[in-house]
Structure 1
Amino acid sequence: MPEELDFERWSKKAAEWGVAYRASLRGRPVRAQTAPGTIAAQLPALPPEQGEAMEAIFADFEKILLPGMTHWQHPRFFAYFPANAAPVSVVAEYLVTAMAAQCMLWQTSPAATELETRVLDWLRQAIGLPAGFAGVIQDSASSATLAAVLVMRERALSWKGNKAGLAANPRLRIYASQEVHTSIDRAIWVSGIGEENLVRIPTTGGHRGMDAVALADAITRDREAGHVPAGIIACAGGTNVGACDDISAVVRVARENGLYVHVDAAWAGSAMICEEFRHLWVGVEGADSVVFNPHKWLGAQFDCSAHFIRNPEDLVRTLAIHPEFLKTHGHDGLINYSEWSVPLGRRFRALKLWFLLRFHGLEGLRAMIRNHVAWSERLAERLKAEPDFEIVTEPVLSLFSFRHTATDDLDQHNLDLVGSINDDGRIYLTQSRVDGKVMIRFQAGQFEMTEADADTAFDVITELARNKA
């Protein structure tokens, strides 16, 4: 058996390693450069029967695992959306990990519950939601959307779905555009509503938003067919190219039909701390629930998703179970956040938000987001000015898409180009499709990115594109 862990020594070692790692990122390739199976081939097939020394474990972490990591905190990570972990948030997570509290009920850690209530209200004010909304931290927007869909289901079935199931009831229908995140599909699956009952509404306009007239018509047709419309999921800043529904129009249709509206602003919601960007979700105050991820653009360590609900009683009525061992006797009116989410167990997620907001302040976070938007817009303009590039979708906040046009087989050429860019390692981009055509996505959002990193992106893109042509 190895000696008892020297907790102080290895805690310091891990913290020091983290500092050195973050300082080294600009010198590393952004995406892991290992071939499939390389890491697994270095790991024993059988579990260890005897304990091993920490020196050996830590050495293998650096030798075997680190080369297979894609560096999400790299300042030239321009793929997907950011999963930021501002250094102050990392420090807060050290403390959360050390305490290792289960924060499912008020009584299991009163500070965690009361801090969560307060910092979510800070966020509500920061993004301009009215005081009628209450907030809860979910692990991800996927969980918040699932919770919203479950509320839609229960409301539509007069609160009988959890008990009686769906089999004896008419088909429930949920409405969304093609631009929503795939987590919406998964919520429909998990809720039991079924993929065939997710009605896709065509989009219109420059922001590729849901066509409100088509939405109203679809609801009418479903009612005439004997189905039960239950709710609408709108997006503000869709994953693919930043699509934004006309929330005001969606809410108007919903109110006319008595439907619940959930707004998925997982990425773009962070930008709403800047008042000048709120035109992208005008009407959001009329929604029933809204979610955005501070763990994307705001700097909070994953996982941390802010879920705002107009009527928390509906959410609690849908999700709460009250066995005797979970009751807090002698205290009425307390919030037990485990009743606001699907999982019972809960981490102390509010602490990193508290550290983050206090250390940077809203003005510091606004400056970061405004910079990212400006640098992305400038990069789009530089590429647009090049004769062999086209902008496929104009910037929405810090996200736009483009392609290189120097060959006849544009789809394959741009797939090859994004592969070459990522193999090069200096930046990381992802591809997608718009109207069936391959394009390359760019989004600026990493917490420690600078304008020079955007300039590097231009140099890498143009250099490798012309090498491929």
Structure 2
Amino acid sequence: MTADLDPDEFRRAGYAFVDWVAEHRAALPGLPVVPPVRPGEVAAALSGPGAAFADGLLPEAPQPLATLLDEVERVVVPGSTHWQHPAFFGYFPANASLASVLGDLLSGGLGAQGMLWSTSPAATETEQVLLDGFARALGLGEAFTFPGGGGGVIQDSASSAALVALLAALQRADPRWQESGVDGRERVYVTAETHSSLTKAVRVAGMGARALRVVAAVPGTQAMSAAALADAVAADVAAGLRPVLVCATVGTTGTGAVDPVRDIAAVTAAHGAWLHVDAAWAGVAGLCPELRHVLDGAGLADSFCTDAHKWLLTAFDASLLWVRDAAALPAALSVTPEYLRNAASESGAVVDLRDWQVPLGRRFRALKLWAVVHAAGLEGLRAHLRGHVAAAVALAARVRAEPGVVLAAPPTLGLVCLRCVTADGGPDDAATRAVLERVNASGAAFVTHTVVDGRYVLRIAVGGVVTEAAHVEALWEQVRREAAAVRGPSTSSH
């Protein structure tokens, strides 16, 4: 006997669940962004007497699905950091538009396992068509499309994209790598601002910390120096080492720094190293012609990644990875046991996307991205991006005009970094930290921090699905008030 809902039961429950999501999203502006909970409180509420998991045990008998919504309302919502709140300015955006939620519903409803073309032809080819279309819309060039000899795939995250790019780079550097493993001579080049996923990828690949080279930045910036990279690579080659991969970042997590990809590409081409461009947050800005300058040189890369689940209205997880050589990832990742063999794969006429990622199984992620494109169109996506960039530009102008507060790094797209300064203009780390803590404790907004040149910096990332200029202005007024409060009455503000 099946334990599943029948179609009529599903329809009734589905209406209730959709209504709950709609009401929750409508109520978000009135909720605190960060929950006032202590560690263990959520678990205690779920496992206490009469709760969902009383005494820590799973229920033996079926429970009405309506009670699940009750528990979510009672426990989950008050214990959640609300990433979809219009005043969420921390980390980077985690867009989960309602259109993408509906696309996820379709994906779950189909229940496809798209590991092979033969296990779901529609899942594979829809993804190919979408990724080809985005490669063109971003200006990456035809070389990153399947007809052009490359192609794209939806990974779960930019971390996974970095790992598979590294594995492909190792394979290209030494085709014997799959049998013999790394030999200790391989080197990967990053900056101090490169995402930590590259460090993790090096570990996962068994290369060890010695494989990672941190390249100096252009003086006065956080962006990689192509000259310093050239020197580091040349020194390693002279020492008998093997440059495998360089990661250039477009929009670093800390400050939004943009590495000079075109200049870096000249260095990697001279030494045969793989160039991976991590544009997880900022890459989608290339949809706007006036913002595409941040992607200058990206078309010269071997691989390029940007996340639809950060700033492109698509619910997590949906990281878009392209390669110039469609054979590169399968060469590094393909393992084919007998039970996966089939006529379509062996014909060479299809793409099996399980060979483009680490896991075997894969969801039909393309449906939620398709839903976003269907609902917004490229015009709507560009308007979404442009509105946030304009709000960040206005915020940066206010910071420049405010005594006691300065920009800590050049603003990039929707990211503004600032810090408090003392009366003589020196960094005031204690005041900056206090402002962040007071803003977050209020529940009215949420911001995060980074450290630049050893100094504490407050980051404001503008990019939420429903975040508008008014929300950014309200945050700024709160930052001004808190900065004035922690500085004391001797410092004027206007």
- Cα RMSD (Å) of the superposition? 1.9
TM-score normalised by length of structure 1: 0.96
Q: What SS does structure 1 have at the residue aligned with 2:234?
A: helix
CA-to-aligned-CA distance 1:372-396 (integer Å, 9 cap, x gap): 0110110111122111211111211
Deviation at 1:49, TM superposition (A): 5.0
Q: What SS does structure 2 have at the residue aligned with 1:148?
A: helix
> Percent of aligned pairs with the same residue?
38
- CA distance in 1 between counterparts of 2:226 and 2:237 reads 17
| Code of the aligned partner of 1:231 | L
C-alpha contact (below 8 Å) 2:279/2:305 kept by paired residues: yes
CA 1:359/1:56 → structure 2, altered by over 3 Å: closer, same or farther? closer
CA-to-aligned-CA distance 1:46-92 (integer Å, 9 cap, x gap): 32251352343332221112111111111111110001011111111
- CA distance in 2 between counterparts of 1:414 and 1:206 reads 21
Which residue, out of 388, 397, 414, partners 1:372? 388
- CA distance in 2 between counterparts of 1:416 and 1:117 reads 48
Task: Show the counterpart of 2:135.
Answer: 124
Task: Show the counterpart of 1:154.
Answer: 171
Runs of 4+, deviation exceeding 4 Å: 406-409
- CA distance in 2 between counterparts of 1:136 and 1:82 reads 21
Task: Show the counterpart of 1:246.
Answer: 260
Task: Show the counterpart of 2:364.
Answer: 348
Deviation at 1:409, TM superposition (A): 8.1
C-alpha contact (below 8 Å) 1:429/1:441 kept by paired residues: yes
Q: What SS does structure 2 have at the residue aligned with 1:82?
A: coil
TM-score normalised by length of structure 2: 0.91
Task: Show the counterpart of 1:456.
Answer: 474
Unmatched 5+ residue regions in structure 1? Answer: none
Number of residue equivalences: 466
Which residue, out of 28, 32, 41, partners 1:25? 28
Moved more, 53-62 or 453-462: 53-62
- CA distance in 2 between counterparts of 1:415 and 1:170 reads 41
- CA distance in 2 between counterparts of 1:275 and 1:91 reads 29
Mapping 1:308-319, distance limit 5 Å: 308-319=322-333
Task: Show the counterpart of 2:50.
Answer: none
CA 1:4/1:253 → structure 2, altered by over 3 Å: closer, same or farther? closer
Task: Show the counterpart of 2:39.
Answer: 36
- CA distance in 2 between counterparts of 1:405 and 1:230 reads 42
- CA distance in 2 between counterparts of 1:49 and 1:387 reads 59
Moved more, 94-103 or 301-310: 94-103
1:137 aligns with 2:137: no
- CA distance in 2 between counterparts of 1:437 and 1:246 reads 24
- CA distance in 2 between counterparts of 1:341 and 1:52 reads 37
C-alpha contact (below 8 Å) 1:25/1:74 kept by paired residues: yes
1:272 aligns with 2:286: yes
C-alpha contact (below 8 Å) 2:420/2:429 kept by paired residues: no
Task: Show the counterpart of 1:100.
Answer: 111
Which residue, out of 415, 428, 434, partners 2:446? 428
Unmatched 5+ residue regions in structure 2? Answer: 48-54, 145-150, 488-494
Q: What SS does structure 2 have at the residue aligned with 1:312?
A: coil
C-alpha contact (below 8 Å) 2:427/2:455 kept by paired residues: no
CA 1:409/1:145 → structure 2, altered by over 3 Å: closer, same or farther? closer
Deviation at 1:206, TM superposition (A): 5.8
- CA distance in 1 between counterparts of 2:57 and 2:334 reads 39
1:50 aligns with 2:48: no
Q: What SS does structure 1 have at the residue aligned with 2:327?
A: helix
Which residue, out of 297, 306, 319, partners 1:292? 306
- CA distance in 2 between counterparts of 1:332 and 1:200 reads 41
Task: Show the counterpart of 1:114.
Answer: 125
C-alpha contact (below 8 Å) 1:170/1:226 kept by paired residues: no
1:10 aligns with 2:13: yes
- CA distance in 2 between counterparts of 1:60 and 1:354 reads 32
CA 1:85/1:433 → structure 2, altered by over 3 Å: closer, same or farther? same
- CA distance in 2 between counterparts of 1:400 and 1:100 reads 41
C-alpha contact (below 8 Å) 1:170/1:228 kept by paired residues: no
C-alpha contact (below 8 Å) 1:174/1:199 kept by paired residues: yes
